[in-house]
């Protein structure tokens, strides 16, 4: 019985769900736009993560917006060489080179002063997504709690019966 409980705990406890990394996908819509989608490799939504498009030569921010609830954004393709950065918080940043527009990239002009200095968006606007990993962990914790209570009651009743004899 003791071995069965240990096997059940190891099988049911979702250790692998706590390790995750951010995944960024870029698709060319072939209409002058790209679709940037982000998620964690556990299947968890990356809604609320910041998407930035940076010009490669000047590091100017060309586009900046948080992922909506569906974790996808459709963005016009810049004419200059760029990198797409998905920032999901500390330790969760991914970048990919941008998709070239149909006519190709044009040579980047020197950025104007003041255009690069954008106000940073506040973290209060970030949307919190529910995670399957957290949900499963809570369910497993409650199952283990109820199993412990059940076994404790059963053993207590056995002890009381032995004491009555």
> Tens-of-pLDDT digits for all 165 residues of the chain?
677 777 766 666 655 555 678 888 899 998 989 999 988 887 788 888 899 999 988 889 999 999 999 989 999 999 899 999 998 888 788 889 988 888 888 875 555 555 555 566 665 555 555 667 778 888 999 999 999 999 999 999 999 999 998
Q: Which residue has the tokens 């990394």?
A: 21
Neighbouring C-beta atoms of residue 121, cutoff 10 Å: 12
Q: Report which of 135, 137, 131 is spatially closest to residue 9, judged by C-alpha positions.
A: 137
**What is the three-class DSSP state of 135?**
helix
Give pTM, 2 decimals. 0.55
Residues 6 or more apart in contact with residue 23 via CB below 8 angstroms: 38, 39, 40, 41, 94
DSSP 8-state class, residue 130: P
Q: Report which of 40, 11, 62 is spatially closest to residue 131, judged by C-alpha positions.
A: 40
Round the CA-based radius of gyration of the chain to a whole number and report it: 25
**What is the three-class DSSP state of 39?**
strand
């Amino acid at each position: 019985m003791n071995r069965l409980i240990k096997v059940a705990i190891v099988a049911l406890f979702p250790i692998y769900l706590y390790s995750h990394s951010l995944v960024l996908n870029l698709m060319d819509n072939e209409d002058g736009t790209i679709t940037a989608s982000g998620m964690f490799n556990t299947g968890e939504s990356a809604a609320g993560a910041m998407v930035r498009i940076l010009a490669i030569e000047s590091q100017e921010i060309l586009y900046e917006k948080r992922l909506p609830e569906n974790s996808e954004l459709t963005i016009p393709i810049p004419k200059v060489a760029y990198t797409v950065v998905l920032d999901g918080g500390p330790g969760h940043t991914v970048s990919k080179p941008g998709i070239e527009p149909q006519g190709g990239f044009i040579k980047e002009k020197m950025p104007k002063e003041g255009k690069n200095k954008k106000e940073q968006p506040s973290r209060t606007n970030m949307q919190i997504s529910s995670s399957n990993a957290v949900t499963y962990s809570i369910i497993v914790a409650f199952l283990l709690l109820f199993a412990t209570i059940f076994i404790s009651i059963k053993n207590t009743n056995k002890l009381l019966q032995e004491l009555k004899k």
